[in-house]
Structure 1
Amino acid sequence: MDSARSRTTTDSIKVVGLVVGALLVALAAVMLVPVLAEIVARSDDWQAFLSSAVVTGFVGGALMLANQTEERDLTHRATFLVTTFGWLSVAAFSALPFAFSRLDMNYTDAFFEAMSGVTTTGSTVMSGLDRAPPGILLWRSLIQWIGGVGIILTAVAILPFLRVGGMQLFRTESSDRSEKVLPRPGQIAVAIGEVYLLLTLLCALAYIVGGMTAFDALNHAMTTISTGGYSTHDASFGYFESPFVHWASVIFMISGALPLALYVQTLRGTGETLWNDQQVQGFVTMLVGVSVVMALWLTARGDYGFFEALTLTAFNVTSIVTTTGFASTDYTLWGPFAIMAFFLLTFLGGCTGSTSGGLKMFRLQILAILFKTQVRQTLYPHVAQTMRYGERTVNREIVFSVALFVFVFMGSILVAALAIAAFGVDFTTALSSSAQAFANVGPGLGPIVGPAGNFSSLPDGPKLILAFAMLLGRLELLTILVMFSKDYWER
């Protein structure tokens, strides 16, 4: 029995090493794309990407060769490992081009930038983006674009299998409780990848029509659909004065924050359509309502006309709620009401199965259903109350899972903020930077990490804390935290 268990554990570890190695080999291939951009632009930073590709490819290839095994199925526990170490490894090696480039970043800053990119958070330690090498700008956009489609596949196929944070409510036909996490990985990956690529191309085309250069349009399209938020300019979308560009961005940020699996179902005419989904309806309704209310408030203050105010609020509200993190202006200058509103919006997030982070709309709806059911139970104690989410029955396991996730999410933000404050960071910066990291939003509040600042002036300690928080938030916290329990490591 013990020898069988030992063999199973060894096989699982080999599968984890094999998957991580394959991811690194693929990442090394992607690193060659900025090499071409540097050569075309006649920049001298192509060597940084080529050397990074060699190192990454060598390590990835060595892992694959050292972990060859006939057993390719993942056990339940090994799935936590491969999910966590896969994302961590990609971020660690994505930092190499930043560290090797002429930007002269130390590895802590490079790792922060890479983790922010891979998790589509959008926080940055870089300034002078308007003069940065084109390869570096393209690399920032690429890792966000890759991270965006990566988290979709994780959310659709792996997190429901792990039963994390109520995600089992969205279990698909190809995501069951068997040992195979992806029984039909090719079909899922190709279908979602096609939609993701199509949305990116349409977004880039819209930006070009709005007056962006082809380079700016491509970069911003990748970071818009991935709801990542990296820009090629220090002023972010404030650099572009065209209202058309801003409204196009609003549309495509929303597109990236909707469940991509529903796009596939809608286009194929199978299952629930995008516009009939309860989560999508709630998400869009909330965005429209908040944007209009804030636009009316700005208009009443006499700061802007209504249409200009609506353009500003729709863009920045959508950017924060979808966890994209673009900014068209410094909204913290709008006063205390706006600051508090944007702080609360930081937590919300988009839909499950999308590129966005945050709590997700479905969890907020589950909590609302729980509250409504509890009120009814109080009024009619002898009547059995059934909780339903659309056509799905919500059982106690899902409610408990959602409630636990929200509790851990909020508690983790406070713990990380306290740890950051221990380095002498002020309250606003510590709390808002912690919140945006776990929600994968990008900008925090205040002059240091707000929409007009960046994270470069923070000490290395807080940067590493925030980088870990980004990964925790991106992988729904419990995916990683479960590995810190004693029970996880017991056979």
Structure 2
Amino acid sequence: MAQQLCMLRHLKPVLRGLAVRMVGFILGYLLTVVSVALLIPTAAGFAMGEPAWQAFAAASAVTAFVAGTLILALRSQQDRLYLHEGFLLTTMAWVVLPVFGALPFMWARLDLSLVDALFESVSGITTTGSTVVAGLDSLPRSILLWRSLLQWLGGIGIIAMGVAVLPFLRVGGMQLFHMESSDRSEKVMPRAKDFAITLLSVYVSLTLACAALYAIEEMTYFEAINHAMTTISTGGYSTSDASLGHFSSPVIQWTATLFMVLGALPFVLYMRFLKGEVGAIHKDGQVRAFVNLLALPIVGLTLWLVLYDGVPFFDALRLVSFNVVSITTTTGYASSDYTSWGTFSIIVFFFLTFVGGCSGSTAGGFKIYRYQILGIFSRISLKRLLFPNIVLLPKYAGRLIGADILRSVASFFFLYVGTILGLALALAFLGLDFETSLSGAATAVANVGPGLGAIIGPAGNFSSLPDAAKWLLIIGMILGRLELMSVFVLLVPAYWERRSS
């Protein structure tokens, strides 16, 4: 028995080394996807006679070379990814992929610096939607297509990560959403293959349905495809500086509102619906809470516009519904400058920045289920003040909420607020005003897109910010998309001590 334990101790570093090789191996395959995706704007640019196609071709070739090198150099017999290396993979994927996604922006003669190109790529692939590019209406179509593709690929990657990876890393209480599986303590993605085809089918189907409705309305086919990709991914990139305000059709705004909501719902529920569970979506407690949370600011702001600005009721309802859903789902589309609606609306939209969508969706933010869990424990704490001896078992969706889940949610809340405040202080130190610093930090970590104020509000962009501020916001966007804890764990010395042991 002692000999077996000794052998296991010597074997562990070998297994971990194989797992790290597996991380690099998987990164190679992810870069292969990026390389193939780059061929789409390459072909589009070539067909339309745009010189930018050469930048995409070169970027695709470089990405394919690096991907092939990683795959060939790091291939092994290892066929599973262990929990410890899951943290490293999730972080490395969302750091490395945007670097290669930024290559066309640097090489296509858009006069973008390194930090600007990386900012645009990170904002795209994290589906944040903040931009440093002005004059979108006159940009090459291949560039516009690549921006939309980045968000579309980022959206499907976010869903896969939220469904198959983060719950097993116990990030911010997401262990509530474990997939049914045996051996879940060992493998990070035990059923990813089983989910992949159905997940991709749902994602593509929603995108095509959205594009078809856009095309029937006022949009050209090119505009419809681009906006469908950034609507379902709740990314918010547009083909026009005016965002969806470029289109005069009210039906387009209602269509976008509907599909932004659909993109912010748990995609696992769509899978269950397709398997015959008809009530899976509307019976889900997280979905009901999300819809109710949308209704409250929509009603309040609609009445505000009608009573104080004299806007006709149905126009007010459309404007408010679109912009509230856009910010709450972290899409970031704009149909008008809602900061001009008055102080009340500015405060409401600032608070909505911190909400987010459902778990396992393309939306970012704090996520609805975390608010629900905090609310459950707050109610229990109040009842225990009145009845100290009462025994209450906290449950969520019929499942007992363990102390580990509460700790995860509480820790995530602390890190979430602390990260936003720390980032805001750093931006203020660089000389940005209070409104820009705080809303910029919030919109980066929540992956929303536009901030508040004249500079980074819905009528502006991030191009005028100093480079140091852009680097800070890049870090904030990545931290927010990776749910903070999966990145911060890499900063704990014990993680690397274990890696070298």
User: Once superposed, what is the RMSD of the aligned Cα atoms?
Assistant: 1.2
Number of the residue aligned with 2:333: 326
Kindly report which structure 2 residues correspond to 1:262-277, keeping only aligned pairs within 5 A, or say none. 262-270=269-277, 273-277=280-284
Which residue number in structure 1 is paired with residue 313 of structure 2? 306
**For residue 234 of structure 1, what is the aligned residue in structure 2?**
241
Judged with a 3 Å threshold, the aligned counterparts in structure 2 of structure 1 residues 271 and 308 are, in CA distance, closer, same or farther, namely closer
**Is residue 159 from structure 1 mapped to residue 159 from structure 2 by the alignment?**
no
- Could you tell me how far 1:40 is from its partner in structure 2? 2.1
Decide whether aligned partners of structure 1 residues 175 and 104 sit closer, same or farther in structure 2, where only a CA change above 3 A counts: farther
Aligned to 1:134: 141
Per the TM alignment, residue 396 of structure 1 is displaced from its structure 2 partner at its CA by 1.5
Residue 482 (1) aligns with residue 489 (2): yes
CA distance in 2, matches of 1:369, 1:94: 42
CA deviations on 1:12-44 (whole Å, 9 max, x unpaired) are 221011011111111101100001111222211
Q: Which residue of 2 aligns with 1:97?
A: 104
Aligned equivalents of 1:217 and 1:16: distance in 2?
A: 37
Instruction: Indicate which of 59, 63, 74 corresponds to 2:70.
Output: 63
CA-CA distance at 1:478 after TM superposition: 0.3
Task: Indicate which of 236, 249, 264 corresponds to 1:257.
Answer: 264
Read off the aligned partner of 1:421 and give its amino acid letter.
A
Taking the aligned partners of 1:363 and 1:9, their CA distance within structure 2 comes to 33
Q: Does 1:454 align with 2:461?
A: yes
Q: Is the 8 A contact 1:48 1:101 kept in 2?
A: yes
**For each residue in 1:15-74, what CA deviation from the matched residue of structure 2 results, as whole angstroms up to 9, or x when unmatched?**
011011111111101100001111222211100000000111101110111101111222
Distance in 1, matches of 2:429 and 2:99, equals 26
1:270 Cα deviation after fit: 4.5
Asked if 2 retains the 8 angstrom alpha-carbon contact of 1:155 and 1:353, the reply is yes
Task: Report the Cα distance in structure 2 between the residues aligned to 1:59 and 1:175, rounded to whole angstroms.
Answer: 35
Residue number among 81, 87, 90 corresponding to 1:74 in the alignment? 81
Note if contact 2:28-2:70 (Cα within 8 Å) is conserved in structure 1: yes
1:256-295 deviation digits (Å, cap 9, x = unpaired) = 0000010000121259601100000010111122112110
On the 8 A contact 1:330/1:452 being kept in 2, the answer is: yes
Confirm or deny: 8 A CA contact 1:253 1:322 kept in the other structure: yes
1:221 corresponds to: 228
Percent identical pairs in the alignment equals: 50
Question: Counterparts of 2:142 and 2:459 in 1: how far apart (Å)?
Answer: 24
Mapped to 2, the partners of 1:185 and 1:346 lie a distance apart of 31
- In structure 2, C-alpha distance between the alignment counterparts of 1:404 and 1:10, rounded to whole Å: 30
1:352 alignment partner in structure 2: 359
> For 1:79-135, what per-residue CA distance to the aligned partner results, in whole angstroms no more than 9, with x for missing partners?
111111011111111000101102121111000000000000000000000000001
CA contact (8 A) 1:257 1:350 kept: yes
Corresponding pairs, count = 491
Secondary structure class of the residue paired with 1:433: helix
The answer (yes or no) to whether the contact 1:235–1:328 under 8 Å persists in 2 is yes
Q: Which residue does the alignment assign to 2:194?
A: 187
Q: Which residue of 1 aligns with 2:345?
A: 338
Report the Cα offset of residue 472 of structure 1.
0.6
Q: How far 1:3 moved relative to its partner?
A: 4.3
- Shift in alpha-carbon separation, 1:466–1:343, aligned structure 2, 3 A: same
- Cα distance in 2, alignment partners of residues 83 and 12 from structure 1: 14
CA distance in 2, matches of 1:365, 1:340: 22
Q: CA deviation at 1:176?
A: 5.5
CA contact (8 A) 2:81 2:189 kept: no
| 2:156 paired with 1:146 | no
Q: Quick one: distance in 2 between partners of 1:13 and 1:104?
A: 38
Between the aligned partners of 1:384 and 1:142, the Cα distance in structure 2 is 52
In the other structure, the counterpart of 1:285 is: 292
1:370 aligns with 2:377: yes
Structure 2's unaligned 5+ residue stretches are: 1-5
Residue 59 of structure 2 aligns with which residue? 52
1:294-321 superposed Cα distances (whole Å, 9 cap, x missing partner)? 1011100133111100100000000000
Measured after TM superposition, the shift of residue 456 of structure 1 is 0.5
**SS, match of residue 275 in structure 1:** coil
TM-score relative to the length of structure 2: 0.96
Which residue is 1:430 aligned to?
437
2:440 and 2:169 map into 1 onto residues whose CA distance is 28
Contact 1:18 1:64 in 2 (8 A): yes
- The structure 2 residue matched to 1:404, chosen from 411, 436, 450, is 411
Offset of 1:341 from its aligned partner?
0.7
Mapped pair 1:173 → 2:180: yes
Are 2:117 and 1:117 aligned? no
Q: Is the 8 A contact 1:174 1:182 kept in 2?
A: no
Is the CA contact 2:83–2:187 (under 8 Å) kept in the aligned structure 1? no
Taking structure 1 as the reference length, what is the TM-score of the superposition? 0.98
Counterparts of 2:355 and 2:405 in 1: how far apart (Å)? 19
Q: Is the Cα contact below 8 Å between 1:160 and 1:175 reproduced in 2?
A: no
Deviation at residue 421 of structure 1 after TM alignment: 1.4
8 Å contact from structure 2 (residues 184, 190) kept in 1: no
